[in-house]
Amino acid sequence: MKLISPEFPAPRDAASRRGRPPVVCYPVGELPASNLTAYRAAREIWTRTDTIIVPPREARAFKVPAGHFFRIVSLEGPQVGDLNLWSEGDLGERFFSGKTRALHGTHVSTGDRLWSTLPHLRPMATITADTLDWYGFDADGCSVHDVIGTRCDPYTNRLLSGGDYHHCCHSNLTRALADHRRIPLGHAEAAVHDVLNVFMCTGFSRETGQYLMKASPVRPGDYIEFFAEIDLLGALSACPGGDCSAEHSSDVAACFPLQIEIYRPDAAPTGWAPPERNAYSGSHGLKD
């Protein structure tokens, strides 16, 4: 456990040190704004091209072509999902939760983008609708759709409980990717990465700084919707913790399926083009 009481005395200027004003690490004013008006106009006439049901305590992989939309929908009860995204043509380009967090904050919603790993660092998807955007931050400092957690995994489960559990989201995502790409489990596991915790309600303890979770506010019919900026391969796990009100990896928590819906608009959003990879040269300022 963390030490609650400090070992060392505060210096005389402690109040002054603590009182210095914070600044935003990554000001995003220079980023191109999300053109939600054009995206929403494009979805006024669209066709659903695929529907994927993700069973409780399992995961499914899916493809979304650039310029299409996808939704993650709550079907029967409060259920959290763990989302991975890759460039469909290159598993080495994947969702970068840490940079997304640094740019947009601990929790994401409408207008925020999901960014890819270095050296690509380009938007993979833009959130175009979120029926839980009303939640905001509650009295515990918690909010919905976080990019701060990792994913429940069997290694941490064994570390903390001494037992093995094979339906953690990490394992579910690994199996789904391996099945979809027909690759060995070891290769798939190496590509699984930190997630967008869809519908999960989380925050940090002010006392200890520990990661908190509480019952998700999601209900049947709620959804979060994305516009695919590039050709995407996704995988979604229906977390074995259900609404994550008590625990992550459980065979007794009430769990429900999630639905993925893919939509093709009749026309691309006005002015939209798939983003190019980051323009940095990669020389790192060094001569060859």
Quick: pLDDT tens for 203-256: 999 888 899 999 999 999 999 999 999 999 999 999 999 999 988 778 889 999
Query: What pLDDT sits at residue 184?
Result: 98
Of the candidates 117, 123, 85, 140, the residue with the CA atom closest to the CA atom of residue 275: 123
DSSP 69-136: EEEEEE-SS---EEEEEEETTEEEEEB-HHHHHHHH-SB--TT-EEEBPTTT--EEEEEEEETTTT--
Mean pLDDT of the chain: 95
Average pLDDT over residues 86-102: 97
Give the domain ranges of the chain.
45-265
Of the candidates 82, 83, 48, 88, the residue with the CA atom closest to the CA atom of residue 68: 48
Per-residue pLDDT band at 5 (split at 50, 70, 90): confident
pLDDT (tens digit per residue) in 186-197: 999 999 999 999
Contact 175, 187 (CB under 8 A): no
